Amino acid sequence: MKVTGAQLLADMLASYDVSHVFMVPAVLRRTFAEMERRTKIKRIHCHGEKAAAYMADGYARASGKPGVCMAQVVGALNLAAGLRDAYLAHSPVIAMTGGRDPKTKFRKVYQEIDDVPAFEPVTKWNATVDAVERFPDMVRQAFRVATSGAPGPVHLQFRGNEGQLDQEEADMEPLVEKQFSRVPPFRPIPDPGELKKLLEILQKAEKPVIVAGGGARWSGAGPELVRLAEALAVPVATSLNGKDCIPAGHPLSVGVVGSYSRESANRVVAAADLVCFVGTSAGGMTTHVWTVPKIGTPAVQIDIEPETLGRNYPLEAGVLGDAKTALTQMLQLCDRASASRRKPWIEKVKGICADWREKYRAALASEAAPIRPERVCAELSKHVPDDAIVLSDTGHAGMWMGGMYDVKSPRQSFMRSAGHLGWAFPAGLGAKCAAPDRPVVTFTGDAGLWYHIGEIETAVRWNIAAVTVVNNNASGNQSKRGFDRAYGGEQTPQARELWTYRMVDFAKVANDIGALGIRVERPDQFSNALNTALKSGRPALIDVVTDIDAIAPLAVSS
Ligand SMILES: Cc1ncc(C[n+]2csc(CCOP(=O)(O)OP(=O)(O)O)c2C)c(N)n1
């Protein structure tokens, strides 16, 4: 049957269960017209391509479905910049851009450069669609690559600066492989011998700890992880990406380990005689630059990517496969009686966790104004609904939320920037698009908010009712410590100019744009503000005036 590329692409995206695409026009215009005629897909038109990519990323991490973002040729590298976080976090984002036409390339066409190489370091697959006949197989491959194995971004560049190739016709079938409309499309089964070996090592250990990461999260392995930890009496630390794999209140949960971490987690992992990594690459952030645990600590690992097994820690056993499947099999095979061996260890772990709570009790309950960020985190732990999606920006936001925020229930999701300041606010909007019935609460610093503040208008225009909490200290004060060091102690007033801003009332800005803005200046105002924001059904921003001298604790290595 003869159809245009636009008709086919619209039909295929709908069949892959795509509900929103995020973009700055003008790209694939005919496809947008066909989406309107043929599908229910919402076309979220935003203020910058990087924000569009972050929205698609938040959408993907909230739903497990690929997030789709788009840009015309001149916006392509802004979009590529936004894929960097998705690449680091293994998030399945599909980026579509317009590209050069062979008839005119190299002739100094307005706005044109060769964008394709810039997508190379931020994608799993980076390809051009040069003939309309290739729409079906290239789009299928994009979904296959984005969702398979360790997920990640892909890029398709369509011929024509606005992807005008979509106007051409060919005989095409909108065949869709539904399996690749969400992560994980496959659950590879581990080798039974290697799995048994890993299990035996874990059962023999007297002081083991599990470190679960983003791979466990993508696999949906949280419930099996908790059940196995309970069956064998093994404490669980997580990476920041894996934070929602176990609720903070669980007696075996020790917190986030690594650089943006909770001290108790680092202490437990440092004291362990065996570390079992599940769905984590054991990279620099999760291991505090490979000091927690120390290289040489006996380790075992479960991962879906063969090249991840043993990359950073020599292994006594390495299991290749899907985390949920591996943990389910371990639950069936495990010797629950071995748990008694770890009683003294569990007592010690409980003591370490209790020490942490005691150490931060005062800060978490602080009545100070300007408000302490620890208190904001404690308020969020208490008042964010059980089924919420919680997002955190990076830098100080990642440190505060990684260390101080408690994921309350297995129904709560936690997502965080993989390193890019400014990710969380637009990602929260994308998450709300993916899960309109769940509350979405984003924690960001003011520096983080400034990046994409224009997207408040996008949220209002599309009524994306996410709640954004701004830790507003009129600065990027995570940088304070670094500049103190650079100046050999006390900084000059000019040095402070390098990391401070004007104090702006973001609640006023939000109200002006048409969102609900609430300013919070005392800790006792916070819970009401959050409830009002959550109940409003509108995009809401809570501007919390916090202490510029509040600096997050540094990670410990022992
Ligand atoms: C794209 C990008 N650029 C720069 C940085 C470095 N960086 C990390 S945190 C930070 C400042 C954070 O400020 P804010 O979000 O206001 O939080 P605060 O430190 O004030 O709590 C900067 C500049 C980064 N992580 N990402």
Ligand 1: which atom is nearest the Cα of residue 444?
A: 15
- Nearest CA to 206 out of 341, 336, 349 is that of 341
Phi/psi at 321 (nearest 5 deg)?
165, 180
Q: Where do we find the tokens 């001290």?
A: 263
Whether residue 184 has a cis bond before it, omega within 30° of 0: yes
The residue ranges of the chain whose pLDDT is under 70 are none
Q: What is the pLDDT of residue 86?
A: 98
What's the 484 CA to ligand 1 centre distance in angstroms? 16
Best CA proximity match to 188, nearest among 394, 329, 67 = 329
Non-local (6+) Cβ contacts of 261 within 8 A are: 255, 288, 402, 403, 555
Helix (H) or strand (E) holding 40: none
CA 354-413-40 angle, to 5 degrees, is: 170
Cα of 478 vs centre of ligand 1, distance in Å, is 7
| Tokens 């909007």, residue located | 429
Q: Which atom of ligand 1 is nearest to the CA of 550?
A: 21
Distance, CA 110 to ligand 1 centroid (Å)? 35
Question: Residue 325 and residue 180: Cα distance in Å, rounded?
Answer: 18
What is the maximum alpha-carbon separation in the chain? 74
Mutate to test the pocket of ligand 1, among 371, 421, 480 (most ligand atoms within 8 A of CB): 421
| Residue written as token pair 């297995």 | 410
Q: What sign has the CA pseudo-torsion 500, 502, 503, 504? A: negative
- For atom 18 of ligand 1, the residue with the nearest CA is 476
Q: Which atom of ligand 1 is nearest to the CA of 476?
A: 13
Per the CB < 8 A criterion, the answer to whether 391 and 441 are in contact is yes
498, two tokens: 């390098």
Ligand 1 midpoint to CA 276 (Å): 32
Cα(421) to centroid(ligand 1), Å: 5
Q: How many helices (H) and strands (E) does the chain have?
A: 21, 20
Burial class (CB in 10 A: 0-12, 13-18, 19+), 90: buried
Q: Which atom of ligand 1 is nearest to the CA of 422?
A: 1
Q: Spell out the residues 6+ positions from residue 470 whose beta carbon is closer than 8 angstroms to its own.
A: 444, 445, 446, 449, 506, 541, 542, 543, 544
Mutate to test the pocket of ligand 1, among 478, 480, 503, 548 (most ligand atoms within 8 A of CB): 478
Q: What is the pTM of this model?
A: 0.97
| Closest ligand 1 atom to Cα of 373 | 21
Determine the pLDDT at residue 490.
87
Q: Which atom of ligand 1 is nearest to the CA of 400?
A: 21
- Top mutation candidate among 372, 396, 544, 547 for ligand 1, by most atoms within 8 Å of CB: 396
- Whose CA is closest to 452, among 108, 8, 23, 55? 55
User: What is the β-pairing status of strands 169-171 and 20-23?
Assistant: unpaired
Q: What values do phi and psi take at 270, rounded to 5? A: -65, -30
Contacts of 535 (CB under 8 A, 6+ apart): none
- Counting from 1 in the atom list of ligand 1, the atom nearest the Cα of 448 is 15
Residue 500 · residue 472 · CB < 8 Å: no
Q: Which numbered atom of ligand 1 lies nearest the CA of 446? A: 16
Output the residue whose Cα is nearest ligand 1's atom 13: 476
Residue 153 C-alpha to ligand 1 middle, in angstroms? 24
Strand 154-159 and strand 93-99: the pairing is: parallel
Give residue 377's pLDDT: 98
* Token code pair at residue 368: 């100070």
In this structure, the residue with its CA closest to atom 4 of ligand 1 is 421
Between the CA of 500 and the centroid of ligand 1 the distance, in Å, is: 11
CA of 499 to the centre of ligand 1 (A): 9
- Please tell me the distance from the alpha carbon of residue 321 to that of residue 327, in angstroms, as a whole number: 10
Pocket of ligand 1 (CB under 6 A): 393-397, 419-421, 445-448, 471, 473, 475-479
Rg (CA), the chain: 24
Whether omega for the bond prior to residue 26 falls within 30 degrees of 0, making it cis, is yes
Q: Return the DSSP state at 65.
A: S
- At 1 the pLDDT is 86
Q: What is the C-alpha separation between 430 and 436, in angstroms, rounded? A: 10
pLDDT at 295: 96
Between the CA of 448 and the centroid of ligand 1 the distance, in Å, is: 6
Q: How close is the Cα of 97 to the center of ligand 1, in Å?
A: 29
Q: Whose CA is nearest to atom 23 of ligand 1?
A: 476
How many Å apart are CA 155 and CA 247, to the nearest integer? 35
Q: How close is the Cα of 482 to the center of ligand 1, in Å? A: 12
Contacts of 18 (CB under 8 A, 6+ apart): 41, 65, 66, 68
What's the 432 CA to ligand 1 centre distance in angstroms? 24
- Residue labelled with tokens 């996008």: 458
